Amino acid sequence: MCSSLCALLLVILAVHNVHAKSDPELHMTTPQIIERWGYPAMIYSVTTDDGYILELHRIPHGKTNVTWPNGKQPVVFMQHGLLCASTDWTMNLPEQSAAFIFADAGFDVWLGNMRGNTYSMKHKNLKASHSDFWEWSWDEMATYDLPAMIDKVLEVTGQESLYYMGHSQGTLTMFSHLSKDDGIFAKKIKKFFALAPVGSVKDIKGFLSFFAHYFSLEFDGWFDVFGAGEFLPNNWAMKLAAKDICGGLKIESDLCDNVCFLIAGPESDQWNSTRVPVYASHDPAGTATQNIVHWIQMVRHGGVPAYDWGSKENKKKYGQANPPEYDFTAIKGTQIYLYWSDADWLADKTDITNYLLTRLNPAIIAQNNYFTDYNHFDFVFGLRAPNDIYLPIVDICTKDYNGK
């Protein structure tokens, strides 16, 4: 989950504010933001085995000339969280944004977009206006989207493997896919860097904890209220809230910040309030209501189950009345680097220590990095993240790629 969820509350408060100043990035796409800062941007598409057409964004190189021993650049793939998009890795200033930091370090940077977000709204046969288009959750992202995007990147670059960095849901889908891997996919991932890693979400805190527990009693209510289709798309209302509240007077900007902290965790000293209008204009980037229901099912379940279709449909789909559990103890063959915090209310410390760390094989955990003051958003937008997280990861990948 990411800063996109702030807009769910902000749009309710949106009123026109004549004092608001509009940042041009509020209305730019990810490639346009990349080019705004003087970097090259490329767009690719890939079709999943179940017909969804996903858009990938690429920064093939940075502003500096970096020479690699074998003549080929290392590839890093960045995957956004729930209700987010590729934009998340580019929305701070260049020296603060992961995508630009890796590009300037000589990496070939690829940014993924899962089905149903702003950039992945197409299908071979279905239209986004039809409810059938939205019958999926992160199950399908892990099963279809993730391998399709990884294979496309490797095909274009001619590499056999890449470095993967995921945030929130971007870690959940990788953990889930690796748990069912026969060993072939794991060989394509040199190292897996998990920022705000998600397994169980039983112990999430804050506003979303109340929201999820309240609705977990009756999942059909979500479809009744929001419809069996798109949930929180990126539209004019969200951009209006971003401009007129987050970019308005100080009292309104502070309100915007505090709403976000109510969701992500306690306020930290690395929150850049001047960039909040940009964050809020691009997140939420949309997903399926069914995907949100799946997350709520996880809160009630306390583990990582597949989507619960109800006992009758489960028997047809899974051969059993209850959905099967993803077995994270089965993950092998990929080195994992964890980055988490006690101040994160979504990738909660209790869930990580009691669930994730008890199931992942210690032999594959290369690093277990614990921070005392990062909320959920800080792993992507925090001003200390470059020095605490991104640059150390650059160093790890550089040494690994150079065989040191």
d(CA 235, CA 219): 26
DSSP alpha helix (H) spans, 265-377:
276-282, 289-301, 311-318, 349-351, 357-359
HEC assignment per residue over 268-298? CCCCCHHHHHHHHHHCCCCEEHHHHHHHHHH
What total of structural domains would you count in the chain? 1
Which CATH number do you get for residue 312? 3.40.50.1820
Active site residues: 168, 344, 376
Q: Domain residues for 288? A: 3-401
The amino acid sitting at 74 is: P
Q: Minimal CA–CA distance to 295: which of 172, 124, 185, 192?
A: 172
Nearest to 116 by CA among 101, 132, 133, 130: 133
pLDDT by residue (tens digit) across 239-253? 555 555 555 445 445
Joined together, the tokens standing for residue 101 give 């930091």
Q: Six-digit token pair at 374?
A: 């990062």
Kindly give, in sequence order, each residue whose CB lies less than 8 Å from that of residue 90, ignoring residues fewer than 6 positions away: 30, 33, 34, 97, 99, 100, 111
Residues with pLDDT less than 70, the chain? 1-21, 207-208, 211, 214-227, 234-268
152-162 pLDDT tens trace: 999 999 999 99
Taken in order 122, 126, 127, 130, is the CA torsion positive or negative? negative
Preceding omega of 284 cis (within 30 degrees of 0): yes
| pLDDT confidence of residue 80 | 98
